[in-house]
Amino acid sequence: MIIVTGAAGFIGSRLAHTLNDLGYNDLVLVDDFTREDKTLNHQSITHTLKVDRGGFVVWLRENENQIQFIFHLGARTDTAEQNIELFDTLNLNYSKQIWNLCVEYGIALVYASSAATYGDGSHGYKDEHEVVNSLKPLNPYGGSKNDFDKWALVQERSPYFWAGLKFFNVYGPNEGHKSRMASVILHTFRQVSESGKMNLFRSHRDDIANGHQTRDFIYVKDVCDVCSYMMHGRLEIKSGLYNVGTGNARTFLDLVTGTFKSMGLKPDIEFIDTPEDIRDNYQYFTEADLTKLRKSGYTEKFTSLEDGIDDYVKNYLL
């Protein structure tokens, strides 16, 4: 059996579909399955069992001898959320429980970290373990992810294989439930479908032009390929933290212009103020350093932004 936590969410559900495509159907899906806005994400996944996340730890103790691998992708991902106790419960302590059970029962583990751990990027975007303690995330979400990375790195006992994947800006199908945390591609598609134009956050820095805020955007299908690579290579790949991005930062203006093009429309973009609740903690640049991932043996090319947008818009959103 392979376990996927967060299986009703964005990346988790896409990974489960990818595993099905690879012939893995003995899946245990873990999440809160009561949310109707996530039903479409998981209803067509071939699986053995669905387990509510609240009862997962008990279930795992009772069924550990059947489990070969755990993808722990369930987390609270709202970068505007300020409730640190909530992040401690869902992102930090829950992950510690899963880690300790993987150690106890000899189960390999891949878990979702985040590029939000890098904060303003003043320490760069290298996934070297030596810099983790110096990172200063800009919000409680990034803080919770970095806190777990720091905790994992100092444990005397670890799963025989583990990888913390620092996901950069992931976009693609199955993110419709994410509201304001969904990708700008989805927001653009929805706004343009309703009004014919797109409102994009203006820059609040003198050295960066409007729309030239830059991120490393990665298609969710590529993220799932890296996850699969980690599972298949767990006996050869060195455990640790790994960046998962394209290594090629692009502007939000590129993103929105590409979405208009895939919709067959001429761009009509207006700039609005960045909301005050995220303005001070806004990342203006991210770009994954992929040196470690490439050295581990991952050689696949990442989907270009234009091709990813085109596939997402034409084959899923339209």
Give 10-64 pLDDT, tens digit per residue.
Answer: 999 999 999 999 999 999 999 999 999 999 999 999 999 999 999 999 999 999 9
**pLDDT for position 81:** 85
**pLDDT for position 278:** 85
What number does CATH give the domain 177-214+249-284? 3.90.25
pTM of the model: 0.96
Whole-number Cα distances in Å, 198 to 155, 188, 272, 282, 318:
47, 6, 10, 20, 17
Contact present, 62 and 118 (Cβ < 8 Å): no
SS3 213: coil
Question: What are the pLDDT digits (tens) for 261-313?
Answer: 999 999 999 999 999 888 888 899 999 999 999 999 999 999 999 999 999 99
**pLDDT for position 256:** 98
**pLDDT for position 136:** 96
* Domain residue ranges in the chain: 2-170+217-248+287-302, 177-214+249-284
Question: What are the pLDDT digits (tens) for 184-209?
Answer: 999 999 999 999 999 999 999 999 99
Whole-number Cα distances in Å, 129 to 107, 125, 150, 153, 273:
22, 12, 9, 8, 36
**pLDDT for position 78:** 81
Contact present, 146 and 87 (Cβ < 8 Å): no
Which DSSP state fits 119? Answer: T
pLDDT band at 138 (very low <50, low <70, confident <90, very high): very high
Which DSSP state fits 267? Answer: -
Q: Name the nearest CA neighbour of 308 among 193, 202, 186.
A: 186
Chain centre to alpha carbon of residue 146? 14
**pLDDT for position 7:** 98
**What is the Cα–Cα distance from 186 to 15, expressed in whole angstroms?**
19
Contact present, 141 and 114 (Cβ < 8 Å): yes
How wide is the angle at C-alpha 241 spanned by C-alphas 238 and 245, nearest 5°? 110
- With 90 as the cut, is the pLDDT of residue 169 above it? yes
**Which positions are annotated as active-site residues?**
141, 178
Question: What are the pLDDT digits (tens) for 72-89?
Answer: 999 988 877 888 988 888
**Has domain 2-170+217-248+287-302 been given CATH number 3.40.50.720?**
yes
Which DSSP state fits 56? Answer: H
SS3 130: helix
**What is the Cα–Cα distance from 179 to 134, expressed in whole angstroms?**
32
Which residues, in sequence order, are bridge partners of residue 28? 3, 49
**What is the Cα–Cα distance from 113 to 65, expressed in whole angstroms?**
27
What is the DSSP annotation of 160-196?
Answer: SSEEEEEE-EEE-TT-GGGGGGS-HHHHHHHHHHHHS
